[in-house]
């Protein structure tokens, strides 16, 4: 009997082993042939769950976060059984090899390959390919897993991808229509590319403004792969793009990182050529801006790459290209699967070398600047620290009294007296190269023609005076925590300063709680304290409608770490007194914003995110197509995100808007929205003509045309502006402000309005690329301005301070425009 049981047991065991290895193909699991439908995100998640539960010894699935629309974000870790048993040791060895974790690694023969799919939601073949890739890795390419840990993120952007997939599934013809003019190849606004808040997640790796990015970067820094691939799609007529990348390369990129891109490219060619598949390399997609899925990993020591398959939102299930060929989803999946597996293969072949070079990357002796020392408003420093913490970059506080080096405000050598509150970030740490990429005053360009912005230097973005020092600046690791915010006592009133987004959030919270707040147009002093313009003044008399007002205010102040100064009287030592007309009540401003057709989805999304997730103040979105029937009297402020308003603001739309402004409404127009008003009757806004460009373009050789046109371009560059900080829109700012310019369009100074921030005679560019003609056009040009329109006004924001949500120091201009301007 015993034998019988033993036999049964053995039979059962062997059955379970065979069963365990029988993962279903994606087609079997999904119930349709892969590439004949767009899978929804939950189906993809289910397939990965199926694989992980069928082969638990080789696959581990982890939910690392959740999207704004509550879809799970998942990673699969795939390797050999033996490696999976030691997964944590492998991870730690890798961090030790980079010097991020202390101690010597016990083994450096295993390479970590991270494959990220579908960051752009409507580049939808790649998530399908991720299922195929994990299947093939575990069935056909097991040998590669002996010395690799493959991390697969099947979809970085599930909200965007489902937006695309759901729209496509409900729109498509049966059978699908390959005519590129048919509706299934043309997505409605805003398309599926971006995430819930319409952010381009492939511009957000460094700034981590979105919850998807925050969650991913946390895991990324835990693993620090040697290889990272970001799978994309491009126009339907460009076949396939893979490494090596195009110039410009950031100077930080090592020879090895360049070389290995060639090896990877050649390996892909080996698989693409026998099939006759077309591809191109070394064009279009450069490695500079640090917030992409290829550059961020590159500055973190990996070979970071973008692969681009023809298709994207127009690709659908099949489309006829301009060459008459039918490109199908099946083709697209096959290409992305092939390049993914080829990446794992070449990485596996070079595992030791990749580890050796990875180790070298983190030695940072050769960097020019050893320390960056930053001084300024503590709340702005705190905001920067939050960002540094996300990337696990270490920092300390200044211990010396004075530092010298490159001074950011003057863009020249200089010095700065320091205090123990000043932040020191030094490059003698493993992430020194990333620090250089983020902080250096002016990224060196190897070529002016780039794919994206060429300037982002964090000291300018956060509005901190900074010295970059070529010698190491001493620092201490911890600052004594500030004393707790004391509770308030019942008195005449309370005053808060106004310098940072944190102050703005405090205001929003007070208004949301129906607390009445005032602000001052003139500085005043009481009891030895001087209160600058824009200070928030909360008076006991204004808030008798709130029970236990002092206690409630006190609780809010403590919760926000907001230090209020108590004032005992309305009588100021220096004017004005609290009853003065220059101390104004801030109304609970009712804000509307235009969305939909015509608006830039990115600009709209950044503004939407700003209100909901940062300021936390209500805003009503109005579809541009509904403008004609909207009752504007319901709102105090109307925001026009960047975009084209030609159809919304036709003759009748424009007169409706002007009538509303005359009766007190305030328009805030951002970036390209300004073109709707330039040169129009009733508006003083004019283009700044750049008339000294008389050279004839006729004789420029055809091949140089693109390069020649760069003279008129500004590709995200930083300029110094002069600020009139007596204007309400500039309260809380100093006389200088560094602005990020995204394009070459410039406007003249306003004759009859206020030029709140402008560029003068002297155009001072501190960072980034700006063509020679475009720079001339900036002479005496408007950056931010306000013009009265009857009882209301229009605010011109030539530069979009909410762009990608990372220009922290510009956000208060926007808040001021809402609450203070024309009040
Ligand atoms: Zn893309």
Q: Please give the distance, rounded to the nearest whole angstrom, from the Cα atom of residue 572 to the centre of ligand 1.
A: 58
pLDDT at 11 over 50: no
Q: Please give the distance, rounded to the nearest whole angstrom, from the Cα atom of residue 287 to the centre of ligand 1.
A: 15
Q: Please give the distance, rounded to the nearest whole angstrom, from the Cα atom of residue 306 to the centre of ligand 1.
A: 9
| Placement of tokens 């591809």 in the chain | 279
Q: Please give the distance, rounded to the nearest whole angstrom, from the Cα atom of residue 155 to the centre of ligand 1.
A: 12
Q: Please give the distance, rounded to the nearest whole angstrom, from the Cα atom of residue 309 to the centre of ligand 1.
A: 9
| DSSP letter, residue 611 | I
pLDDT at 9 over 50: no
Rounded CA-CA distance 297/303 in Å is: 7
Q: Please give the distance, rounded to the nearest whole angstrom, from the Cα atom of residue 260 to the centre of ligand 1.
A: 23
Supply the pTM of this predicted model: 0.95
Q: Please give the distance, rounded to the nearest whole angstrom, from the Cα atom of residue 299 to the centre of ligand 1.
A: 20
pLDDT at 2 over 60: no
- 204 vs 714, residue with greater confidence: 204
Rounded CA-CA distance 87/93 in Å is: 10
Q: Please give the distance, rounded to the nearest whole angstrom, from the Cα atom of residue 425 to the centre of ligand 1.
A: 33
Q: Please give the distance, rounded to the nearest whole angstrom, from the Cα atom of residue 242 to the centre of ligand 1.
A: 13
Q: Please give the distance, rounded to the nearest whole angstrom, from the Cα atom of residue 600 to the centre of ligand 1.
A: 17
Q: Please give the distance, rounded to the nearest whole angstrom, from the Cα atom of residue 124 to the centre of ligand 1.
A: 10
398-432 pLDDT, tens per residue?
998 999 999 999 999 999 999 999 999 999 999 99
Q: Residues with Cβ < 8 Å from 497, sequence gap 6 or more?
A: 503, 531, 532, 535, 536
What are 524's two structure tokens? 């005043």
Q: Please give the distance, rounded to the nearest whole angstrom, from the Cα atom of residue 592 to the centre of ligand 1.
A: 31
pLDDT at 164 over 70: yes
pLDDT at 707 over 90: no
- Computed over every residue of the chain, the mean pLDDT equals 94
Q: Please give the distance, rounded to the nearest whole angstrom, from the Cα atom of residue 233 to the centre of ligand 1.
A: 5
Q: Please give the distance, rounded to the nearest whole angstrom, from the Cα atom of residue 741 to the centre of ligand 1.
A: 24
What are 368's two structure tokens? 């020019």
Q: Please give the distance, rounded to the nearest whole angstrom, from the Cα atom of residue 31 to the centre of ligand 1.
A: 28
Q: Please give the distance, rounded to the nearest whole angstrom, from the Cα atom of residue 230 to the centre of ligand 1.
A: 8
3-class DSSP state for residue 67? coil
Nearest to 450 by CA among 9, 769, 4, 795: 769
Q: Please give the distance, rounded to the nearest whole angstrom, from the Cα atom of residue 120 to the centre of ligand 1.
A: 5
Report residue 235's pLDDT band, with 50, 70 and 90 as the boundaries.
very high
Report residue 8's pLDDT band, with 50, 70 and 90 as the boundaries.
very low
Q: Please give the distance, rounded to the nearest whole angstrom, from the Cα atom of residue 66 to the centre of ligand 1.
A: 21
Report residue 697's pLDDT band, with 50, 70 and 90 as the boundaries.
low
Q: Please give the distance, rounded to the nearest whole angstrom, from the Cα atom of residue 783 to the centre of ligand 1.
A: 31
Q: Please give the distance, rounded to the nearest whole angstrom, from the Cα atom of residue 393 to the centre of ligand 1.
A: 28
Cα→Cα distances 368→289, 308, 432, 447, 508, Å: 20, 35, 11, 21, 43
Q: Please give the distance, rounded to the nearest whole angstrom, from the Cα atom of residue 11 to the centre of ligand 1.
A: 50
The radius of gyration of the chain from alpha carbons, rounded to an integer in Å, stands at: 29
Task: With beta carbons less than 8 A apart as the criterion, state whether 245 and 306 touch.
Answer: yes
3-class DSSP state for residue 683? coil
Predicted pLDDT of residue 104: 96
Q: Please give the distance, rounded to the nearest whole angstrom, from the Cα atom of residue 475 to the centre of ligand 1.
A: 41
Q: Please give the distance, rounded to the nearest whole angstrom, from the Cα atom of residue 710 to the centre of ligand 1.
A: 24
Q: Please give the distance, rounded to the nearest whole angstrom, from the Cα atom of residue 805 to the centre of ligand 1.
A: 20
Q: Please give the distance, rounded to the nearest whole angstrom, from the Cα atom of residue 200 to the centre of ligand 1.
A: 9
Report residue 12's pLDDT band, with 50, 70 and 90 as the boundaries.
very low
446-495 pLDDT, tens per residue?
555 666 888 899 999 999 999 999 999 999 987 778 889 999 999 999 99
Q: Please give the distance, rounded to the nearest whole angstrom, from the Cα atom of residue 119 to the centre of ligand 1.
A: 7
Q: Please give the distance, rounded to the nearest whole angstrom, from the Cα atom of residue 436 to the centre of ligand 1.
A: 26
Strand-pair category, 524-526 with 475-476: unpaired
DSSP H helical ranges for 148-294: 158-171, 211-223, 255-275
Q: How much of the chain, in percent, has pLDDT values that exceed 90?
A: 87
What are 622's two structure tokens? 């109005």
Q: Please give the distance, rounded to the nearest whole angstrom, from the Cα atom of residue 194 to the centre of ligand 1.
A: 10
Q: Please give the distance, rounded to the nearest whole angstrom, from the Cα atom of residue 201 to the centre of ligand 1.
A: 9
pLDDT at 19 over 50: no
Predicted pLDDT of residue 481: 84
Rounded CA-CA distance 715/454 in Å is: 6
Rounded CA-CA distance 66/62 in Å is: 12
Q: Please give the distance, rounded to the nearest whole angstrom, from the Cα atom of residue 59 to the centre of ligand 1.
A: 27
Q: Please give the distance, rounded to the nearest whole angstrom, from the Cα atom of residue 277 to the centre of ligand 1.
A: 20
Task: With beta carbons less than 8 A apart as the criterion, state whether 494 and 693 touch.
Answer: no
Q: Please give the distance, rounded to the nearest whole angstrom, from the Cα atom of residue 489 to the centre of ligand 1.
A: 56
Q: Please give the distance, rounded to the nearest whole angstrom, from the Cα atom of residue 292 to the centre of ligand 1.
A: 10
Q: Please give the distance, rounded to the nearest whole angstrom, from the Cα atom of residue 432 to the centre of ligand 1.
A: 28
Rounded CA-CA distance 36/155 in Å is: 19
634-676 pLDDT, tens per residue?
999 999 999 999 999 999 999 999 999 999 999 999 999 999 9
| Percent of residues in the chain assigned helix, strand, coil, to nearest 5 | 35, 20, 40
The terminus-to-terminus CA distance of the chain in angstroms comes to 94
184-195 pLDDT, tens per residue?
999 999 999 999
Q: What are phi and psi of 192, to 5 degrees?
A: -100, 5
Nearest to 248 by CA among 761, 747, 710: 710
Rounded CA-CA distance 62/74 in Å is: 6
Q: Please give the distance, rounded to the nearest whole angstrom, from the Cα atom of residue 154 to the centre of ligand 1.
A: 15
148-162 pLDDT, tens per residue?
999 999 999 999 999
Predicted pLDDT of residue 450: 65
Q: Please give the distance, rounded to the nearest whole angstrom, from the Cα atom of residue 383 to the centre of ligand 1.
A: 29
527-536 pLDDT, tens per residue?
999 999 999 9
What are 21's two structure tokens? 């290895």
Q: Please give the distance, rounded to the nearest whole angstrom, from the Cα atom of residue 219 to the centre of ligand 1.
A: 22
Q: Please give the distance, rounded to the nearest whole angstrom, from the Cα atom of residue 68 to the centre of ligand 1.
A: 20
Q: Please give the distance, rounded to the nearest whole angstrom, from the Cα atom of residue 293 to the centre of ligand 1.
A: 10
Predicted pLDDT of residue 360: 96
pLDDT at 505 over 70: yes
């Amino acid at each position: 009997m015993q034998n019988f049981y033993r036999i049964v047991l053995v039979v059962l065991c062997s059955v379970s082993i065979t069963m365990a290895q029988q993962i279903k193909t994606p087609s079997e699991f999904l119930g349709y042939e892969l590439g004949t439908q767009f899978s929804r995100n939950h189906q993809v998640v289910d397939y990965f769950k199926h694989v992980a539960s069928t082969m638990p010894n080789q696959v581990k699935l982890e939910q690392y976060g959740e999207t704004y629309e509550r879809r799970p974000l998942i990673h699969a870790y795939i390797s050999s059984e033996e490696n999976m048993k030691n997964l944590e040791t492998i991870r730690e060895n890798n961090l030790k090899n980079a010097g991020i974790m202390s101690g010597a690694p016990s083994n450096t023969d295993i390479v970590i390959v991270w494959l990220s799919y579908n960051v752009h939601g409507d580049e939808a073949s790649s998530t399908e390919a991720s299922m195929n890739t994990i299947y093939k890795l575990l069935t056909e390419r097991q040998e590669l897993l002996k010395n690799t840990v493959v991390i697969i993120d099947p979809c970085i952007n599930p909200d965007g991808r489902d937006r695309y997939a759901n729209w496509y599934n409900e729109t498509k013809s049966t059978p699908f229509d390959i005519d590129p003019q048919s509706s299934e190849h043309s997505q409605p606004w805003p398309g599926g590319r971006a995430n819930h808040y319409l952010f381009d997640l492939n511009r957000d790796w460094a700034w981590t403004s979105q919850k998807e990015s925050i969650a991913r970067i946390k895991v990324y820094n835990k693993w620090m792969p040697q290889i990272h691939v970001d799978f994309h799609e491009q126009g339907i007529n460009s076949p396939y793009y893979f490494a090596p990348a195009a110039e410009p390369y950031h100077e930080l990129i090592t020879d090895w990182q360049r070389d290995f891109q060639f090896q990877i490219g050649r390996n892909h060619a080996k698989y693409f050529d026998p099939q006759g598949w077309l591809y191109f390399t070394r064009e279009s997609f450069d490695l500079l801006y640090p917030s992409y899925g290829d550059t961020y990993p590159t500055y973190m020591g990996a070979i970071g790459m973008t692969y681009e398959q023809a298709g994207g939102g127009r690709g659908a299930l099949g489309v006829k290209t301009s060459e008459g060929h039918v490109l199908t989803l099946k083709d697209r999946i096959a290409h992305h699967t092939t390049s993914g597996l080829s990446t794992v293969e070449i990485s596996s072949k070079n595992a030791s070398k990749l580890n050796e070079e990875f180790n070298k990357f983190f030695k940072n002796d050769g960097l020019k600047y050893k320390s960056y020392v930053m001084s300024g408003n503590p709340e702005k420093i705190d905001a920067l620290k939050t960002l540094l913490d996300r990337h696990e970059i270490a920092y300390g506080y200044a211990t010396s009294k004075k530092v010298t080096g490159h001074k950011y405000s003057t863009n020249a050598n200089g010095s700065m007296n320091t205090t123990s509150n000043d932040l020191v970030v030094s490059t003698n740490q493993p992430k020194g190269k990333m620090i250089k990429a983020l902080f250096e005053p002016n990224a060196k360009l190897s070529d002016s023609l780039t794919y994206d912005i060429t300037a982002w230097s964090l000291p300018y973005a956060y509005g901190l005076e900074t010295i970059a020092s070529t010698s190491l600046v001493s620092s201490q690791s911890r600052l004594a925590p500030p004393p707790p915010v004391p509770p308030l006592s019942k008195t005449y009133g309370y005053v808060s300063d106004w310098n940072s987004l944190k102050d703005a959030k405090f205001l929003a919270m007070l208004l949301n709680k129906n607390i009445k707040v005032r602000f001052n147009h003139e500085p005043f002093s009481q009891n030895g304290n001087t209160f600058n313009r824009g200070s928030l003044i909360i008076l006991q008399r204004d808030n008798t409608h709130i029970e236990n007002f002092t206690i409630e205010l006190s609780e809010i102040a403590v919760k926000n770490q907001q230090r209020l100064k108590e004032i005992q009287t309305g009588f100021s030592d220096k004017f004005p007194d609290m009853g003065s007309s220059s101390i104004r009540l801030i109304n609970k401003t009712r804000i509307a914003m235009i969305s939909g057709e015509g608006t830039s989805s990115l600009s709209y999304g950044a503004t939407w995110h700003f209100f909901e997730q940062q300021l936390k103040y209500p805003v009503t979105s109005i579809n541009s197509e509904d403008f004609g029937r909207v009752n504007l009297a319901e709102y105090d402020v109307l925001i026009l995100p960047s975009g084209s308003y030609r159809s919304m603001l036709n003759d009748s739309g424009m007169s409706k808007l002007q009538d509303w402004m005359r009766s007190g409404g305030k328009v805030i127009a951002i970036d390209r929205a300004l073109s709707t008003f330039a040169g129009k009757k009733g508006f003083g806004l004019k283009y700044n003509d750049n008339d000294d460009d008389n050279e004839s373009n006729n004789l420029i050789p055809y091949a140089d045309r693109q390069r020649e046109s760069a003279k008129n371009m500004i590709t995200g560059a930083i300029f110094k502006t002069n600020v009139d900080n007596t204007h309400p829109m500039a309260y809380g700012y100093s006389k200088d402000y560094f602005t990020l310019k995204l394009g070459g369009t410039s406007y003249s100074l306003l004759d009859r309005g206020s030029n709140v921030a402008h560029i003068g005679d002297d155009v001072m560019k501190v960072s980034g690329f700006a063509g020679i003609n475009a720079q001339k056009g900036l002479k005496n040009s408007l950056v931010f301005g306000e013009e009265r329109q009857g009882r209301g006004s229009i605010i011109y924001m030539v530069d979009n301070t909410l762009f990608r949500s990372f220009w922290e120091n510009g956000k208060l201009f926007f808040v001021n425009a809402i609450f203070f301007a024309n009040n």
